[in-house]
Amino acid sequence: MEAIPIKRAFKYRFYPTDAQAAELLRTFGCVRKVYNLALAARTEAWTLRQERVNYNATSAMLTAWKKIDELAYLNDVSSVPLQQALRHLQTAFTNFFARRARYPRFKSRKKSRKSAEYTTSAFRFRDGRLTLAKMAEPLDITWSRPLPEGATPSTVTVSQDPAGRWYVSMLCEDPGIERLPTTDAAVGVDTGLNHLLTLSTGEKITNPRHGRRDRARLAKAQREHARKEKGSANREKARRKVARIHARIADRRRDNLHKLSTRIVRENQTIVIEDLSVRNLLKNGTLARAIGDAAWNEFRGMLEYKAAWYGRDVIAVDRWFPSSKLCSNCGALRDKMPLHIRTWTCECGITHDRDENAAKNLLAAGLAVSACGAGVRPQRSTPGGRPATKQETLRRKP
């Protein structure tokens, strides 16, 4: 097995002192303020003068902002997270102009993620003790797993989730990731709601429905939150209670998806999935909650980055490919296949399970096109921004 240098984030929970928590919350607010000021300046420059403002220009603006009396508090926190916020904004604009993301949006005090990124000049990591700039004491970190031997973090990101939990994420090079031996195993994966995954081998993986398990408890907590007076301390306590239930659901879901994706990547050289537009599927008012709870996009993301780590291939098939309506035995195509039909019999006499048949068709389509040197995921739009037609769809690897 061949070891490859991979940069990997190791996330740990920590428990700050009151002084550390106050310093971090102040830093989060300053990071949000600088990001919003820079976004407003770049937007105004383009709207009024058709002028593009880059990172260097916003960095010079930050120096000027610190000299203004109303923004003098920016000098009270480390300058590194503020500069990193400007770099993140530059990345957001780069992705926007490359049509990989929407236009950057302003950060909200209540809704945006609370985080700050520190580079090597703003933290000290010695003997397993991490000390951030502007802090006298190291963070009290719960080391749930060790860092790679001899690893030194290149960046450290501190965050607080809506449930009030504090996390520190360290980006390190992990030499322990090795490419797995090449095999001939390939599998098609069909996602669903009754069964989270159906494999072309015939295996069906039950959908745990993590959200449904805590639905009654969540509804009760939300009702209690709605009854509290806005702006009161009791309302904040109730909000935290709702957030903790959401966090517990998300943690269980993520743990299950990690286990499934790791197993599938380790057992198969080629994995074929369907290029679903989950955003559009969530517009279905009847199934939106169940689709969101299944987290198909999160599962696909895990498959893709783990496949890159271990030398596997993930192929995404065009979402318009009729995997459910196509007979995997004779290739006959049915005109319609409503969702309530779970089994059907083809003219050739074969009775199909809807999901298993779809997984087999996905596998066949993925292997057929990849054998010709191309993948099967379509471009999402034409160069002019118009959605591609089926005939214009280009098939390529993700």
Query: What residues are annotated to the active site?
Result: 190, 274, 355
Here the tokens at position 371 are 């054998």
The rounded distance, in Å, linking the Cα atoms of 358 and 341 is: 13
Three-state SS annotation for the chain? CCECCEEEEEEEEECCCHHHHHHHHHHHHHHHHHHHHHHHHHHHHHHHHCCCCCHHHHHHHHHHHCCCHHHHHHHHCCHHHHHHHHHHHHHHHHHHHCCCCCCCCCCCCCCCCEEEEEEHHHEEEECCEEEECCCCCCCCEECCCCCCCCCCCCEEEEEECCCCCEEEEEEEEECCCECCCCCCCEEEEEECCCEEEEECCCCEEECCCHHHHCHHHHHHHHHHHHHCCCCCHHHHHHHHHHHHHHHHHHHHHHHHHHHHHHHHHHHCCEEEEECCCHHHHCCCCCCHHHHHHHCHHHHHHHHHHHHHHHCCEEEEECCCCCCCCECCCCCCECCCCCCCCCEEECCCCCEEEHHHHHHHHHHHHHHHHHCCCCCCECCCCCCCCCCCCCCCCCCECC
Residues near 152 by beta carbon (within 8 Å), at least 6 away in sequence = 125, 172
End-to-end CA distance of the chain: 25
**What CA–CA distance (Å, rounded) separates 162 from 169?**
17
For residues 369 and 140, what is the distance between their CA atoms, to the nearest angstrom?
A: 52
Quickly count: other Cβ atoms within 10 Å of residue 198's Cβ: 25
Instruction: Enter the tokens of residue 243.
Output: 């957030």
Instruction: State the helix-helix crossing angle for 233-267 and 215-227, rounded to 10 degrees.
Output: 150
Residue 131 identity: T
